[in-house]
A and B are shown apart, each in its own frame.
Chain A
Amino acid sequence: MAVNYNAKEEADGHTSGVGVAGGGAAGGAGKSRKPDNTAFKQQRLPAWQPILTAGTVLPAFFIIGLIFIPIGIGIFVTSNNIREYEIDYTGTDSSSPCNKCLNVSWNSTPPCTCTINFTLDQPFETNVFMYYGLSNFYQNHRRYVKSRDDSQLNGDNSSLLNPSKECEPYRTSENKPIAPCGAIANSMFNDTLELFHIDNETRIPITLNKKGIAWWTDKNVKFRNPFGTTNNLTALFQGTTKPVNWPKPVYMLDSEQDNNGFINEDFIVWMRTAALPTFRKLYRLIERKNNLQPTLQAGKYSLDITYNYPVYSFDGRKRMILSTISWMGGKNPFLGIAYITVGSICFFLGVVLLVIHHKYGNRNNSADIPN
C-alpha cells in the first residue's frame, strides 16, 4: 500500500477529540467567538491515507496466492486422508436387510432388528467416530427448533412441572407435564446400532463408547437433572410423564447415573438442532486400544440395528457413518478445493495484472499519487 502519513502541524490533534463536539448548538457555535484552532474542529486530524494501487495490491495478490495454495493443498490432503465409511440402512431398497423394518412404528413390540454386513477395505488407524445421519429431516424447522424448554432441561423444578408453552403440542400428556417436553425431545433418535467385527465367522463386538460425544458445556452446565434431596432420578421426575413417542421415561435412558436423565449424552446431542435437513450426529466413539493395532482393521463387519426410528413416512434416509477425524474435523473437501481455487485465481490475476501494469502504467511510480 502506498502510504502517506500527513501529520499536520497541529500538535493538539489528539486531545481535542469528540468531547468538543458536545459543546454549543449548531447555530450558536460560531457566534462572536472565533472557532477553536484544533485539529479536530478544522478537520485536520493527522491521518493515514492509504491508497490501493496496482503496485501495492498485486504483490499482495501474489503473497495471498502463495499462502492460500499450500494451505489449500494441506487441507485437501488432510481431508483425503480421513477415512470415512457410510451405510444407508433405511431399507428402501427391497434387497436391503432392513427393508422389513421400513414401515416400523414407534411402539412396535418387539422391536424390528436387522443386520447389515459390510467390508472395510482399508483399516481405520486412529480413533473412529460413529455417526448416524438423517436426511430430509427438518430439525431446523422453526416450529421444531423452538419446541423445547431450556429451563426445564437446566433442572429448574418449576419448569419441570410446568413446561413452557413453546412445547405445544408436546407439553402435556394425560394431564401430566412431559419431561423433557417439546417436539425435539419427543422425536429423539432411538435406533440402536451395534458393530461387530467378523473374524473367521466369529462376531467380535466392538466397544462403542457412549460418553464424550456431547459438548462439555452442554453436559455440565446447560443440561441439568432436576435438583432435589435424593439422587434417585425416579423420585426427582415424580409428577411428570414420558414423551409420547418414547418407550421409557427419561430417567431410564441409561443405567449409569451420570449419563441418565437430562444429562444423557445421546439426548444432549439430539437436542442440538442441526443446521440443514441433511445432517449427521455423533453416536459413539471407538477408541484405539493400543498402538499395535488399528482401531478398525480392514475386513468384514456387521452392523446390528434395532430399527425403531421411522423415516420412510417423510421420505427420509438413515445412515451410519464411520469416520476418523483430523485437526480440521471430519472429511470436508470443500475447504481445500476452495483455498486452492482462490489461491490460484489470486496468483493468476497477480501475474496477468502485473503484466498489464508493466506494459501500460510503469512510467509513474505508484507511490507518488497526489492526494
Chain B
Amino acid sequence: MEFSINQEIWLRLWSIWCAGEEKRVGTRTVFVGHRPVSETDAYVEQKFCDNRIVSSKYTVWNFLPKNLFEQFRRIANFYFLIIFLVQVIVDTPTSPVTSGLPLFFVIIVTAIKQGYEDWLRHRADKEVNKSSVFIVENAKQVKKHSEKIKVGDIVEVKADETFPCDLIFLASSNDDGTCYVTTASLDGESNFKTHYAVRDTTGLRTDNDIDSLTATIECEQPQPDLYKFVGRINVYRSNQEPVARSLGPENLLLKGSTLKNTKTIYGVAVYTGMETKMALNYQGKSQKRSAVEKSINAFLIVYLCILVSKATVCTTLKYIWQNNPFNDEPWYNQKTKKEKETFKILRMFTDFLSFMVLFNFIIPVSMYVTVEMQKFLGSFFIAWDKEMYDEEIKEGALVNTSDLNEELGQVEYVFTDKTGTLTENSMKFIECCIDGHKYKGGISEVDGFSHTDGPLKYYGKAEKCREELFLRALCLCHTVQIKEGDNVDGLIVNQERSTYISSSPDEIALVKGAKKYGFTFLGHEADFMKVQNQKNEIEKYQLLHVLNFDPVRRRMSVIVKTSTGKFLLFCKGADSSIFPRVQQDEIHQTKVHVERNAMDGYRTLCVAFKELTQEDYKKMNEQLSEAKMALQDREEKMARIFDDIETDMHLIGATAVEDRLQEHAAETIEALQTAGMKVWVLTGDKMETAKSTCYASRLFQTNTELLELTTKAMGNSDRKEDRLHELLLEYHKKLVQDFPKNSGKLKRSWTASQEYGLIIDGSTLSLILNPSQDSSSSNYKSIFLQICLKCTAVLCCRMAPLQKAQIVRMVKNTKGNPITLSIGDGANDVSMILEAHVGIGIKGKEGRQAARNSDYAVPRFKHLRKLLLAHGHLYYVRIAHLVQYFFYKNLCFILPQFLYQFFCGFSQQPLYDAAYLTMYNICFTSLPILAYSLLEQHINIETLTSDPRLYMKISDNAMLQWKPFLYWTFLGAFEGLVFFFGVYFLFQNSSLEDNGKVFGNWTFGTIVFTILVFTVTLKLALDTRFWTWMNHLVIWGSLAFYVFFSFFWGGIIWPFLKQQRMYFVFAHMVTSVSTWLAIVLLIFISLFPEILLVVFKNAKRKNHQKKLSNRKESDSLSSRPSFRPLLLRTFSDESNV
C-alpha cells in the first residue's frame, strides 16, 4: 500500500501533524457487548486501557518527590540547592538560612501552585471519571461510573450528554439512524454534525434488541487525528454469514463531543480512557523559549564566570597571604583543632566553596521568581485590553502562554494567512456567470429564509434550462445543513429562524446566492435533499454519494438521483481543478469571467456537471462501496474513484464570492512594514485572488517591483525546472549582487530605494525545496532564500499547510535566527502557528483550532498592531530592563563584599549582616523593579501604536546585546567601587560620632548597604518614565521599609540569634552627621554618570526626533494614492499578460 506522508497530511481538516507521521500499526478487534461471535471461537479477553482519564501529574504519594525532582531539574534551582548544601556541610561565612530561605520560599510557592493546579486537574478528572453512565448489560441498563467503561461495552447516551469515550454509533432513537453532534469542545466548530449508525444495527432501539447483537468491530489502533477513522463491523446473525460494513469517521462518536437533538443513542466503546482521540490530542505543545530567556542564560554564564573567578582569586590570594605565618595564625587568633587537622588541599577546597557561597548572591534566586511573576502578571494586560475586544464575537484577546510576551516586541517576520485573517471570511455572493453570461445579484442580504429581494440584473441571458441547472447545482453540491431556530415559545416552529450552518462559509454564501435566484435549499430528509424551485415546487433528489472538499483535490462532488431517475454528478471547485476535467471548448467564456473576478479579489468556484448512465453509476457505486469497506486509506481510494469519474464534465458556470478585507487590515500591514517587519502572506488561495488582496492590503505598493516564481511564469511544463533556475539566478543577480553595499542596511531600513515583492506558488516552492533529481538544486534553495530575505513582501499562494510550516521553518533557520510570527485562523494554519516563534490565532469563523494551538489569540487581524507595537514593545523593554537591572544590582551588591576580602585577610568575612544578605533581593529591592516591569511605559501606548518606527529601536534584541550588558555591568562595578572605597576612606578614622566613640565592622557594612539600597532604588527611579501611584508607593515604600526594618532589626536583642551584631548599629549610624554626609555624597557620585548619560541621550533623542518629524513631513508630501486606483492599475497590467 503506497501513500506518501505528504498526501496524508494534505487532508482537509488536518490537525495534529506531528502525530500523523507516527503511524500506529495493526488493528484491534472489539467484541460488542463482550460476546463471543460463536461457540467455537473462544472469546479472548483483550487488554485495553480502562476509561479513566488521568490528566493529573501527581498523586498524593509521589507529589513531594516528583515535584521536587522536577523543580530541581531547572538549572537555576539546582544551582541554589548546591549552594545551600555547601552551606550546610561546609563551615561557610553565611548561615544556610541566607540562601535556604529564598530557595525554599521559591520551591514552596511553586510547589503550592503546581499542587493546586494538579488538585484542580484531579477534581476535573474525578468529575469526568465518576460521572455516571448507563451500560447495557444482559438487556438491562446498569449505572456505572464513567471510568468503569471497558472497550466493548454498549453505552447509552442521552441528549445533551457528552460521550464518555469514543463510541461506534450503533442505533439512535431517530428512525433513520442518525444523530447530531456538536464538537465545540474538541475543535470549536459549533455546527451540528450528522453521524450515521451502522446500517444493520439501526433497528436495535431497545435494550433487549441491542443486547441480542452479536458483532465484532475491527478498527485501527487509536490515533489522534480527529477526522480520520477506519474500521469494519461484522454483524453476525444466527447461522448466517457475517455481514461486514465499513466504518468511517461518520460512525464514530468522539469523547468530548455532545449529543444534540437526538433522544438517545447506543454505541459501543472502541477507544477508552487515555486512548480516546481527545486524550491523544491533549499532548502538550512543545515549550517555546523566548530570545530573552536565551540572553538571560548567556548573562548567567558570564556572571557564573565572574563568580568562579572571584572565588578563585580570593582563594589563591588567601593562601599567598597566609604564607606568612603571622598572617595565617597570629597569637590572638588561633585556629581550632579541627581546622589544624584538615588537609591543606581539602581546606583550600572548602575555602573555595566558602567564597562561592559568600559571592553567590550575584546570581539571585529572586530574579527567576520576579521574571516569572512579571510574565504571569504582565500577560493579564493583554487579556484586559479593551481595544482588543471585539464586540461581534464578544471576546477579547486570549493569552495561552505568558512566556513569550517579550517576544512580541522582537518580531522580524510576520507570516499571515489570507482567508479569515487578512480578510473577513464572511462570504458574500457577488455574482455568477452561466455559460459566460454575467449575473449580478442584489446587494442586501438577510440571514434565513426571507424571500428573494429585488429583480436581478442580467447582462445577457443564458438559456433557461442551463440557468436552472446551475442553480440546482448550487443547491445540491454542498454540505450545508439547516439549523432549526430555537423554539422560544414552543408552539410555533418558525421557519424564519432557521439558519444554514456549514464548516465552510463559502458554501453558505453559495446556497444563499442560489436562494436569491429562486432556488431554495430546504434541507435533508433521510437520503433526500429538498429544493424549492422558482415555481415554489419542491423537488427531491436522492443523495447517493458525497465526496467532501479537500485541499488536495480542491473540489467537491455529489452524485444525486433525480425524481425522474437520472443520475447526476455535480462538481464544484477551483478553476485549476475543474478546467482540466471539463470539455475544453466550454472553458473559454467562463475563464475570462473567472480571471476577472479573481483580479477583483473575489473567490471563484467553477461548477460543472455530468450525467451518468445507469451502467456507469452502477460500476462506480460498486467501486465506491468496496472502497468504503476498506480499512485503510479509504479517502484516497474514494478520491481515486471520483477522479476517474470526474472527467469530461460540462462546465455550467462560475461563482464569485467576496471575502472582504478585515477592518484596518491594510493599515495594520503598512504599520508592520514600517516597523521593519517583513510580512509574508501564505495562503491556499489562487495567485490572482491573493495578489489582489495583497495590493488591497497594501502589502504590495505601487512602487513595489514584483518578482514572480509561479507556474504561470515558468511557462511550458517540460523545462520547468531549468526555467525556474534561470529566473532564480536572474532575480538573485538583481537583488543580491547588484546591491552588495546596501545589503546590511536594506534589511530594516525604511527608506530602501526600491522595494521588491516576490510571488511564489506551492508547486514552484516544492520544486525548489524538493528538487527532482538535480543535486545542484540545493544551491538554488539558498539562492531562493536570499531572494526572499531581500524582498519586503512575499506572497506564497497555493500553499498546503505543511508547506506553510516549511516556509516558516526555512526563514526561522536562516542566519541570525530572526524571530518569526505566524498568524492564522484556520486548522490549516496550525502547523505554521506551532512552527513559528510566536503563534497567533485569530478567533475566526473556521473553528477554534488555530486559537487553541496558538500562544496568543486575538479576535481580529488589526489587533496585531497594538499587540506587537504597543504590548510587545513595552513587554520587551520591561523585561530587558528587569534582567539588566537584576544583574546590575547584584553586581554592585556583591562587589563591596569581594573588595572587603582584601581587607580582612581573605577570611570570607561577610560585609553585610545575614539579614541584609537575605532580604536585599527579597524585600528591599524586589518590588520597585517588579512594579516597573509591569507598569513602565517609557513611551506612551498611543505613540507606540501610531509611530511604528519606534519598534525598530528594540529590534534584534537591542537591549540585551552585549553592549548594553557591558554598560550595566560597568555601571554596577563602578557603583560597587564607589560604595566600598567611599566608606573605606571614611573609615580611615572610625570615630564618626560627636562623642568620640568608634564604629565597628558592622557599621561599616551597614553604611555600604544603606548607600547600596538607596542608590539601586534611585537608579530605578531615574529610569522610570511612568510614575503611577504604585511606582511611588513601592519605591518610596521600599526605602521606608528598609529604614524601618533596620531600626527594628537592631532594636531588639533577638533571642534566637547567636550574635547580636546589629544591635543599635543602625541607630548609632544615623546619629552621626558624617555618615549622613557620606551617604548623600556617595549616592550622588554613584548616580552622577547615569544622570549625565540620560541627559545626553535625551538631547540626542530630541535631535533625532526633530529629524524624524522633518522626514515625516517630506514623507507625507509623497504619500501614495489610495488603493482603489491601484487595483485598477494592476488589473490593466495583468490583462496585458
> Which of A's residues lie within 8 Å of B, judged by CB?
6, 14, 17-18, 21, 24, 26-27, 29-32, 34-37, 41-54, 57-58, 64, 68, 71, 75, 127, 129, 131, 137-151, 154, 164, 166, 168-170, 183, 186-187, 212-215, 217-218, 221-222, 269, 272-277, 279-282, 285, 310, 313-315, 323, 325-332, 334-335, 338-339, 342, 346, 349, 353, 357, 361, 364, 366, 369-371
Report whether A328 and B389 are in contact in the complex, using a CB–CB cutoff of 8 Å. no
Chain B residue at minimum C-beta to C-beta distance from A57? B1095
Given contacts A52-B1091, A215-B997, A325-B994, contact A276 B987 (CB under 8 A): yes
CA distance A78 to B336 in the complex (A): 47
> Could you tell me if A187 and B333 are in contact, using CB atoms closer than 8 angstroms?
yes
Decide yes or no: A26 and B379 within 8 Å by CB, A131-B991, A313-B326, A342-B1085 being known contacts: yes
Question: Which residues on B sit within 8 Å (CB–CB) of A54?
Answer: 1095, 1098-1099
- Residue pairs across A and B with Cβ atoms less than 8 A apart, 14 shown, are A29-B399, A30-B397, A43-B937, A43-B941, A140-B907, A141-B904, A168-B336, A183-B332, A272-B999, A274-B990, A274-B1001, A325-B991, A330-B992, A334-B985
> Is B674 at the interface (CB under 8 A from chain A)?
no
Residues of B within 8 A of A366 (CB): 1102
CB proximity of B158 to chain A, nearest CB, Å: 27
Choose among A41, A221, A272, A276 the residue that contacts B984 (Cβ–Cβ < 8 A). Answer: A276
Partner of B1092, one of A213, A313, A349: A349
**Across the interface, which residues of B come within 8 angstroms of A51, CB to CB?**
1025, 1098
Say whether A42 contacts B331, CB under 8 Å: no
Task: Give the distance in Å from the alpha carbon of A43 to the alpha carbon of B385 in the complex.
Answer: 8
Our pick among A6, A32, A129, A332 for the contact of B996 (Cβ within 8 Å) is: A129
Q: Which residues of B contact A64 (CB under 8 A)?
A: 1084
CB–CB B327/A46 < 8 A: no
Interface core residue of A6, A68, A338, A366 (most chain B CB under 10 Å): A338
List B contacts of A364 (CB < 8 A): 1102, 1106
Contact pick for B1000, options A29, A35, A275, A331, CB 8 Å: A275
Contacts of B1067 in A (CB 8 A): 217
Residue of B nearest to A137 (CB): B332
Q: Which residue of the partner chain A has the closest CB to B396?
A: A30
With both chains docked as a complex, state the minimum distance between the C-beta of B323 and any C-beta of chain A, in angstroms.
14
Question: How distant is the Cα of A327 from the Cα of B904 in the complex, in angstroms?
Answer: 30
Q: Kindly list the 6 A-B residue pairs having the minimum CB-CB distance in the complex, ordered from nearest.
A: A187-B332, A30-B396, A275-B1004, A314-B326, A129-B996, A142-B907
Q: Which of B277-285, B528-536, B1056-1064 contacts A (4 or more CB under 8 A)?
A: B1056-1064
Report yes or no: A144 in contact with B995, Cβ–Cβ below 8 A: no
Chain A residue at smallest Cβ distance from B1077: A335
- Residues of chain B touching chain A, judged by Cβ–Cβ distance below 8 Å, are 93, 326-327, 330-337, 339, 376-377, 379-381, 383-387, 389, 394-400, 402, 903-905, 907-910, 935, 937, 939-941, 943, 982, 984-1001, 1003-1005, 1022, 1025-1031, 1053, 1057-1060, 1063-1064, 1067-1068, 1072-1074, 1077-1078, 1081, 1084-1085, 1088, 1091-1092, 1094-1095, 1098-1099, 1102-1103, 1105-1106
Q: Which of B379, B395, B1059, B1102 contacts A31 (CB under 8 A)?
A: B395
CA–CA, A183 and B989, complex, Å: 24
CA distance A19 to B941 in the complex (A): 23
**Known: A217-B1063, A334-B988, A371-B939. Is A57-B1091 also a contact (CB below 8 A)?**
yes
A364–B222 Cα gap in the complex (Å)? 72
Contact of A140 among B397, B985, B1001, B1074 (CB under 8 A): B1001
Contact in complex: A215, B989 (CB < 8 Å): no
Q: Within 8 Å CB of A29, what residues of B?
A: 380, 383-384, 396, 399
Whose C-beta in chain A lies nearest to the C-beta of B384? A41
- Write out the residue numbers on chain A whose beta carbons fall within 8 Å of the beta carbon of B380: 21, 24, 26, 29, 41
Most interface-central of B335, B376, B1022, B1077 (chain A CB within 10 A): B1077
**In the complex, chain A residues whose CB is within 8 Å of the CB of B1064:** 215, 217-218, 222
Residue numbers in B under 8 Å from A187 (CB-CB): 331-333
A26-B380, A215-B1064, A221-B1053 are known contacts. Are A141 and B1077 too (CB-CB below 8 A)? no
Do residues B336 and A361 form an inter-chain contact, with CB atoms below 8 A? Answer: no
Determine whether the beta carbon of A27 is less than 8 Å from that of B399.
yes
Query: Closest A-chain residue to B1057, C-beta based?
Result: A150
Known A-B contacts A146-B1059, A274-B1001; A14 and B384 likewise in contact (beta carbons under 8 Å) = no
The distance in angstroms between the C-alpha atoms of A266 and B850, with both chains bound, is: 79
- Which residues on B sit within 8 Å (CB–CB) of A346? 1088
In the complex, what distance in Å separates the CA atom of A249 from the CA atom of B1094?
63
The residue in chain B whose Cβ has the minimal distance to the Cβ of A327 is B994
Given contacts A166-B1058, A275-B1000, A327-B1073, contact A35 B385 (CB under 8 A): yes
Please give 9 more A-B residue pairs, beta carbons under 8 A apart, in addition to A21-B380, A129-B991.
Answer: A26-B380, A29-B380, A30-B396, A35-B389, A143-B335, A222-B1063, A282-B997, A313-B326, A353-B1095
| Complex CA–CA separation, A280 to B402 (angstroms) | 57
Among B385, B905, B1103, B1106, the one with the most A-chain Cβ atoms within 10 Å of its Cβ is B905
Q: Which of B1068, B1073, B1081 is A338 in contact with, Cβ under 8 Å?
A: B1081
Complex alpha-carbon distance, A149 and B1091, angstroms: 47
* Set of chain A residues within 8 Å of B988, measured between Cβ atoms: 332, 334
Interchain CB contact under 8 A, A328 and B1077: yes
B994 touches A329 (CB 8 A): yes
B439 to chain A, nearest CB (A): 41
A61 to chain B, nearest CB (A): 9
**Which residue of chain A lies nearest to B332 when distances are taken between CB atoms in the complex?**
A187
Q: Are B990 and A138 in contact (CB under 8 A)?
A: no
In the complex, the chain B residue whose C-beta lies closest to that of A129 is B996
B1102 touches A215 (CB 8 A): no
Interface centre among A27, A129, A285 (most CB of B within 10 A): A27
Decide: A273 and B1000 in contact? CB cutoff 8 A.
yes
* Nearest A residue to B393, CB-CB: A32
Contacts known (A21-B377, A26-B399, A330-B996); A369 close to B326, Cβ less than 8 A:
no
* B996: chain A residues within 8 A (beta carbon): 127, 129, 213, 282, 285, 323, 325, 329-330
With A30-B389, A45-B935 in contact, do A280 and B1025 touch (Cβ < 8 Å)?
A: no
Q: Which residues of B contact A310 (CB under 8 A)?
A: 331
Known: A335-B1078, A349-B1092. A142 touches B994 (CB 8 A): no
Q: Which of B326, B387, B986, B998 contacts A332 (CB 8 A)?
A: B986
B907 touches A138 (CB 8 A): yes
- Pair B389/A274 contact, Cβ less than 8 Å: no
Q: Which residues of B contact A53 (CB under 8 A)?
A: 1095, 1098-1099, 1102
With a cutoff of 8 Å between Cβ atoms, the chain B residues found around residue A151 in the complex are 1058
CA distance A137 to B327 in the complex (A): 9
Q: Is the CB of B1059 within 8 A of A27?
A: no
Return the contact of B337 from the options A6, A34, A168, A217 (Cβ within 8 A): A168
Looking at the complex, which one of A46, A141, A164, A269 makes contact with B1028 (CB distance below 8 Å)? Answer: A46
Q: In the complex, what residues of A have CB within 8 A of residue B1000's CB?
A: 272-275
- Complex Cα distance, B330 from A131, in Å, reads 23
Instruction: Provide the residues of chain A in CB contact with B1105, threshold 8 Å.
Output: 369-370
User: With A and B bound together, what is the CA distance between A53 and B1093 in angstroms?
Assistant: 10
Q: How far is the CA of A42 from the CA of B1028 in the complex (A)?
A: 13
Contact B909 A142 (CB under 8 A): yes
Contacts A41-B381, A47-B937, A361-B1103; A14 near B331 (Cβ below 8 A): no
Give Cα distance in the complex from A370 to B1108, angstroms: 13
Residues of B within 8 A of A323 (CB): 991, 996
| Distance A54 CA – B1096 CA, assembled complex (angstroms) | 7
Q: Are B383 and A145 in contact (CB under 8 A)?
A: no
State the Cβ distance, A64 to closest chain B Cβ, in Å. Answer: 7
Neighbouring B residues of A34 by C-beta, 8 Å: 386, 389, 394, 396
| Chain A residues whose CB sits within 8 angstroms of the CB of B1025 once the complex forms | 49-51, 371
Residues of chain A within 8 A of B383, CB atoms compared: 24, 26-27, 29-30, 35
Partner of A164, one of B330, B1058, B1092: B1058
Residues of chain A within 8 A of B387, CB atoms compared: 42
What is the bound-complex CA distance between A357 and B1102, given in angstroms?
Answer: 12
Name A56's closest neighbour in chain B (CB-CB).
Answer: B1095
Whether B989 contacts A280 by the Cβ 8 Å rule is yes
Contact of A369 among B984, B995, B1095, B1098 (CB under 8 A): B1098
